[in-house]
Structure 1
Amino acid sequence: MKRLPPFEAATKFVQTNFPTCQGALLAGSVTRGEETSTSDLDIVIFDSHVPSSYRQSLIECEWPIEVFVHNLHSYQHFFQEDYKRARPCMQRMVAEGLVLKDEGVLAAIKKEAVEMLEKGPERWSPQTIIMKRYFLTDALDDFIGSEKREEDICIANTLAELIHEFVLRTNGQWIGASKWIIRSLRQFNPIFATQYIQAFDAFYQQGEKQLIVVLVDEILEPYGGKLFQGFSIGK
């Protein structure tokens, strides 16, 4: 059985399951034209009758659906939590979401989301940058010294996370997780994102470490380079 198009399926889902809600949005990859064969429908619901936020996964209208349900105030907690961790998942869904239903509540909520996205995350303090320099240095030294392929892979994964975080946060940008790591890097600096991909691709395919070593050295250099001697926490 051929399934309904995304917007039509999402509208039907809201009408059936949340008929009294004040607002609903369709978000995620299907709204950006980036869906794959495994994509789901991300649907955000705003319903004043819901006592607290919840998330649910289900299959309806031949689609896997992730529904994020909030009342007219509880979503703000998630905005703040995403702001603190510098990963604006909720803000992006709301800002980019296509309106499925609106009884006059969505304009203000979307405005909040857009303003937070444009503002960016809280800037790292000099002390935080020092700490992050040390952690990057420590991971890189482990990577250079490791002689076991299975350990190399795990350390490289750690470096991939740390590098993306350092570059984006020191430049006042939002970070990502999973596929949003490279998406966030591309949004900030496509040239660096390509360099990042090439460095890790060379390691994963040929075991070549040097491009990752150079990458770390380059991003740390403006902040004083690698850091080990004299680093302390809690002294």
Structure 2
Amino acid sequence: MTYSFAGEIFEVFAYTADGFAEWAARDMERFRPVIVEMLVHGFPVRRDRTLDALRTFWADRLAEGPTLADAESRLRRYIITDLLDDLRDATDPLEKQVISGLLFERTAELMLLLTGKWIGTGKWLPRRLREWDATRAQALAEPLVSGDHAALAEQVHAELDRAGGRVQAGFRR
């Protein structure tokens, strides 16, 4: 539930133990452990041994980082390959912008996941990428921010090569 108090907006996330475990597992499977991060790093309103035990348990899972299965890696590389080809073929300026944003997002996610780092959405994706490797984050972000679609395509291709290369012909989902 979202509240407003003294000009500030804040959200309350309340779960039963089973409900939390279900949502936490779902977030971890999607490589975006939002509620786990809130539990481990958030400000507790009420603290007891149960909370401490939950925090310890989930902090350990968080510290393990994600594991990207080969099939998931190939699917992600396939999607990036397809978007990369779409960007190189695009002539419409709006299409180029949209595809560029998607390419940044998908490529950044792959970069993080292949190194055992959790991903994020919105502002959290570039933050996590910079936290992991500021140099590679800048190399991917700079052509996106400047609108240099050709340079973005080159950088994405370089990251795709690091990840195992393009996936296209013969790929099955």
Task: State if a TM-score over 0.5 links the two structures.
Answer: yes
CA distance in 2, matches of 1:143, 1:82: 30
Matched, 1:107 2:107: no
Given the alignment of the two structures, is residue 148 of structure 1 paired with residue 88 of structure 2, yes or no? Answer: no
Aligned to 1:14: none
Paired residue for 1:135? Answer: 79
Task: Indicate the residue corresponding to 1:213 in structure 2.
Answer: 153
Q: Output one character per residue of 1:102-158: Cα deviation in whole Å (capped at 9) or x when no partner.
A: 23322111112211110112x222222222222111101110110100111111121
The higher relative CO (CA closer than 8 Å, separation ≥ 6) is in: 2
Which consecutive unaligned segments of at least 5 residues does structure 1 have? 1-55
CA displacement, residues 10-38 of structure 1 (integer Å, 9 cap, x when unaligned): xxxxxxxxxxxxxxxxxxxxxxxxxxxxx
Pairing partner for 1:86 from 7, 24, 31: 31
Could you tell me which residue of structure 1 aligns to residue 11 of structure 2? 66
For the Cα contact (< 8 Å) 1:57–1:66, is it kept in 2? yes
Are residues 64 and 222 of structure 1, via their aligned partners in 2, closer, same or farther at CA, if it must alter by over 3 Å?
A: closer
**2 CA distance for matches of 1:132 and 1:72?**
33
How many corresponding residue pairs? 173
User: Once superposed, what is the RMSD of the aligned Cα atoms?
Assistant: 1.6
The aligned counterpart of 1:228 is 168
Letter aligned with residue 216 of structure 1: V
Distance 1:224 1:64, change over 3 A: closer
| Between structures 1 and 2, the one with greater helix share | 2
Return the offset for 1:223. 4.1
Asked if residue 120 in structure 1 is aligned to residue 65 in structure 2, the reply is: yes
**Secondary structure of 1:59's partner?**
strand
Higher strand share: 1
Gapped regions of structure 2 (runs ≥ 5): none
Structure-2 change in CA distance of 1:70 and 1:224 (3 Å)? closer
Q: Name the CA distance, whole Å, in 2 between partners of 1:69 and 1:128.
A: 32
The sequence identity of aligned pairs, in percent, is: 25
Give 1:59 deviation, angstroms: 1.4
AA partner of residue 98 (structure 2): C
d(CA) in 1 for partners of 2:80, 2:134: 22
Give the corresponding residue for 1:197. Answer: 141
Report what 1:169 is aligned to.
113
Deviations 1:50-105 (A, max 9, x none): xxxxxx11213432121111234421112101111010111111111223322332
1:97 aligns with 2:42: yes
Report the TM-score when normalising by structure 2.
Answer: 0.91
CA distance in 1, matches of 2:72, 2:127: 24
Q: Runs (4+) of structure 1 moved beyond 4 Å?
A: none
Choose 1 or 2 for highest CA Rg. 1
